[in-house]
Structure 1
Amino acid sequence: MSEEQGQEEEQEREEERFGIGEAAARTGLDPDTLRYFERQGVLPAPRRDPAGRRQYVAADVELIRMLVHLRETGMPLADIAQFTGADADAEVADPSRLRLELLAAHRRRVEDRRDALDRALDVITRKIADFAGRTADSPEVLQRPDTTISYTVQGEGPLLFLVGAPVGRGGFAALADELAGQFTVVTHDPRGIGASRPTHGMAEPTPEVLAEDLAALVDTFTGAPALFVGTSGGAVTLLELAERHPHLVGSAVLHEPPLVTLLDDDTLADRAASAFAVAAADPQRAVQEFYDLSGAAHHTGPDQVPPVHVELPELPTAELDKNRYFLGRMAGPSVFYEPDIECLRRARLTVCAGTSSHHQMARRAADALAAALGRPLIDMPGNHMGASAEPAEFARALVPLLLPTAP
């Protein structure tokens, strides 16, 4: 026996060993499940004591925990058996390299599944907004010179307006429910969206026009400054409101205003303009182009970038009609809006972005806006759609920003 082999055996004798019951407790599995993994050939059989009882060490527990992660994320059992070394028929010259290859292939599968789930979540979130808008109590109506604006009020406390574009009452329904315990929450459908139906001769939904609609809505409640949260195009509306009517803005949280004008990226600007230009005639193409350039439906961390292209399914007629209006008339003026930075530095604005929005257009724009204003960029839960997709977590993060003295 070599000296090295002797040292390895000595180390094994010194390792803490424990039975199947403790191994199960440490991994959160039942003993029967551990036996099942052995029978299925996805977990190597552990050592046995002289009485034939299984004996586990810390490395066995770590391997079992890894097996659970691989199984939960859908790695094929044959691959798991190779990873754990339980496949006795496989002759492996370099186990470490094999494990690296198996994990790399599995990561690609998981990322593909995550992208598919993100797309499904986007559809589900929009449908929740649609149904919430249909089932909500009859909204109140604000008369404007060229149209009507539908709005809803709930809760009790400081006056808080949730502002979106194109997101309206339905898209904010879950977040409003979360905040209604601490605020009087006002949500509205921007002109041409939801119950604020487009009318003949209605002015185009530019940030300037949307800000005047919002100012009129605020005036129906109070002449004093109020609190605001704006997401995406709604954050752009709030920038214009702060410029035009600073006396109305007590404090505003701006989540990912997608301002291409703040990015030194002519290619991105050209792609956005192209998507908006074809929206009226070919909304499916416009949605695809804007989806790819914004990356907003994806979840990306600091070391990840959105995929260059993910083919979208054919949209139903109702979705196509909505995007003829949104991408054809509303999105362009918001994306290409140019804020007055000097004026806005005097306003109480907090700029934030999703922790899962890295390297996406709107987070990049939010980062540029925060830097221009001399403010920090605050991380918020989720991605560009965090306010609707993760309302409870988003609300918890919002409250300290709106009420700095809140616990």
Structure 2
Amino acid sequence: MSVADELFGIADVSAWIGLAPDTLRYFERQGVVPSPRRDSAGRRQYTTADVELIRMLVHLRGTGMPLADIAQFTGADDNVTDPARLRVELLTAHRRRVHDRREELDRALDVITRKIADFTDRMTSSVDLLDRPDCTIAFDVQGEGPLLFLVGAPAGRAGFAALAHELAGRFTVVTHDPRGIGASRAVPGMAAPTPEVLAEDLAALVDRFTGEPALFVGTSGGAVTLLELGKQHPDVVGRAVLHEPPLVSLLDDAALASRAAAAFKAAEADPQRAVQEFFDLSGAAHHTGPDQTPPAHMALPELAGEELDKNRYFLGRMAGPTVFYVPDIEAIRRVSVTLCAGSLSHHQMARRATQALAELLELPLVDMPGNHLGASAEPAEFAHVLRPLLEP
């Protein structure tokens, strides 16, 4: 008897597949899998093809395919005239569902990772304060070695907590909350958080530590802050790694610019709508390889009141001056800059903008782990690639 002709009992199949015999019988009764042949004593006898079909059922069920669709796929539904075509259609539709679900899980994972970093930071960090003429900047320090500033906008200390921990064995890592973010709370009369103002805040923080050039890593809006810092204070920038500065100003895309401006304008009155629009136009929470594009729209859940307030500030005051900032290319050439983008950020706004900046500066674009949020979502992998970029 060949392997293809070999027959197996239900106990064997149960052990191989990881489904209890009662579950196999249940799927048979429900018409999810065809009934196997029986021996003279009425015992089920499964062929190798039956076993492989049940293995596929387990994969489909584990990824959420409806049982009715599984029944059509396995051939338990007798009303199918073209099984091969139907299976392709069923798998294609299910692949779309799995992809959408993966996007949802990726977003949830990003949020969970940031919250872990946030609460860890609250438990382990002692906050220092830097007085500015119109506000107070909260910052903290950890590690030993060359001085390294991690800079974000709106990301602050919490957003960099995990990455700072990964780098603290090699560097003295300084993180801070930009004005209006986290413990650097907005106060009446505070100047707007433009890249120019944020760069002056950062220069004052650097001056608190050293008069020597330091190392910098900037992500998203923080990378834009560093572009302005290099223009205003090139003497303090020893080396700067810029990860995905979202410069819409560098993209020849009037429709994208118009959508971004409309989102920022709506932020004060309707931050939920503004967040949804900016999420869709940036594509920044998705994971897209070279041959993939982010979906045009994916509905976000209703945001909590605290998140709505944060985005009134971020999208209403900080994001506009950041994404429409026009970098001084000649000034940037005078400092040591490395440009990076997420290996899973293809065809997203920030990676496109960083590629445009790289072309203007005639610099290579270094791929980093993850997407736009790689520094917070994949801190260990991000740090591993980042360390050599900070070496002399």
Same fold, TM-score > 0.5, yes or no:
yes
How many Å separate the matches in 1 of 2:205 and 2:325?
22
- Cα 1:61–1:378, aligned 2, differ >3 Å: closer, same or farther? farther
Aligned counterparts of 1:401 and 1:46: Cα–Cα separation in 2: 60
TM-aligned CA deviation for residue 253 of structure 1? 1.5
Name which of 27, 30, 37 aligns with 2:16: 30
Alignment of 1:33-48 (within 5 A): 33=19, 39=25, 40-41=27-28
Residue 288 (str. 1) matches residue 280 (str. 2) = no
Deviation at 1:190, TM superposition (A): 0.6
Change (3 A) 1:31 1:168: closer
1:71 pairs with 2:37 = no
Structure 1 residues 222-261: aligned runs within 5 Å: 222-261=210-249
**Structure 1 letter corresponding to 2:197:** V
Offset of residue 261 of structure 1: 0.6
More displaced, 197-206 or 187-196? 197-206
Give the 3-state SS of the residue equivalent to 2:206 in structure 1: helix
For residues 110 and 19 of structure 1, the distance between their equivalents in structure 2, rounded to whole angstroms, comes to: 32
TM-score (norm 2): 0.86
Change (3 A) 1:18 1:134: same
The alpha-carbon deviation at position 131 of structure 1 amounts to 3.4
Q: Confirm whether residue 181 of structure 1 aligns to residue 169 of structure 2.
A: yes
Q: Which residue, out of 129, 143, 153, partners 1:165? A: 153
The letter of the residue matching 1:190 is: P
TM-score by length of 1: 0.83
Where does 1:124-139 land on structure 2 (aligned, <5 Å)? 124-128=112-116, 130-132=118-120, 134-139=122-127
* Structure 2 counterpart of 1:83: 73
Q: State the Cα distance separating 1:267 from its structure 2 match.
A: 0.9
State the Cα deviation string for residues 156-177 of structure 1 (Å, max 9, x = none).
2222111000110011111111
Residues 1:270 and 2:268 aligned together: no
Alignment of 1:106 onto 2:91: no
Counterpart of 2:240, as a letter, is A
Take 2:380 and 2:6, find their aligned partners in 1: how far apart are those partners? 44
Structure 2 distance, partners of 1:159, 1:60, is 63
For the pair 1:197 / 2:182, whether they are aligned, the reply is no
Correspondence 1:306 to 2:294: yes
Q: 1:36 offset after TM fit, Å?
A: 7.1
Q: Cα–Cα, structure 1 residues 390 and 99, in superposed 2: closer, same or farther, change >3 Å?
A: same
Q: Is the Cα contact below 8 Å between 1:168 and 1:190 reproduced in 2?
A: yes
SS class of match (1:296): coil
Q: Is the 8 A contact 1:128 1:171 kept in 2?
A: no
Contact between 2:280 and 2:298, CA under 8 Å: does it hold in 1? Answer: yes
The separation in 1 between residues aligned to 2:112 and 2:82, in whole angstroms, is 45
CA distance in 2, matches of 1:109, 1:234: 35
CA gap of 1:241–1:33, structure 2 versus 1, over 3 A, is same
Further displaced range: 369-378 or 100-109? 369-378
Cross-structure match for 1:372: 360
1:325-362 Cα deviation digits (max 9, x unpaired):
11111111110011112222343222122222222111
- The answer for the alignment partner of 1:391 in structure 2 is 379
Cα pair distance change 1:32/1:166, threshold 3 Å: closer
Query: 2: CA distance between counterparts of 1:389 and 1:250?
Result: 27
- For residues 166 and 234 of structure 2, the distance between their equivalents in structure 1, rounded to whole angstroms, comes to 27
1:96 aligns with 2:84: yes
> Which residue of the partner structure matches residue 305 of structure 2?
317
Other structure's SS at 1:171 match = helix
Matching residue's letter, 1:71: R
Aligned to 1:332: 320
Residue 91 of structure 1, CA deviation? 4.7
Number of residue pairs matched?
385
2:120 counterpart of 1:140: no
Q: CA deviation at 1:62?
A: 6.9
Secondary structure at 1:241's aligned position in 2?
Answer: helix
Q: Could you tell me whether the CA contact under 8 Å between 1:38 and 1:44 is conserved in 2? A: no
1:35 Cα offset (Å): 6.5
| CA displacement 1:152-197 (0-9 Å, x = unmatched) | 1011222211100011001111111121122211100111111112
Asked if structure 1 preserves the Cα contact closer than 8 Å seen for 2:36 and 2:44, the reply is no
CA distance in 1, matches of 2:52, 2:222: 47
Cα pair 1:251 1:402 within 8 Å, conserved: yes
SS at match of 1:170: helix
Provide the C-alpha distance between the structure 2 equivalents of 1:394 and 1:265, rounded to a whole number of angstroms: 30
Deviation at 1:260, TM superposition (A): 0.2
Shift of 1:67: 4.3
Identical columns (%): 72
Which of 182, 206, 231 pairs up with 2:194? 206
Question: In 2, distance between residues paired with 1:162 and 1:17?
Answer: 62
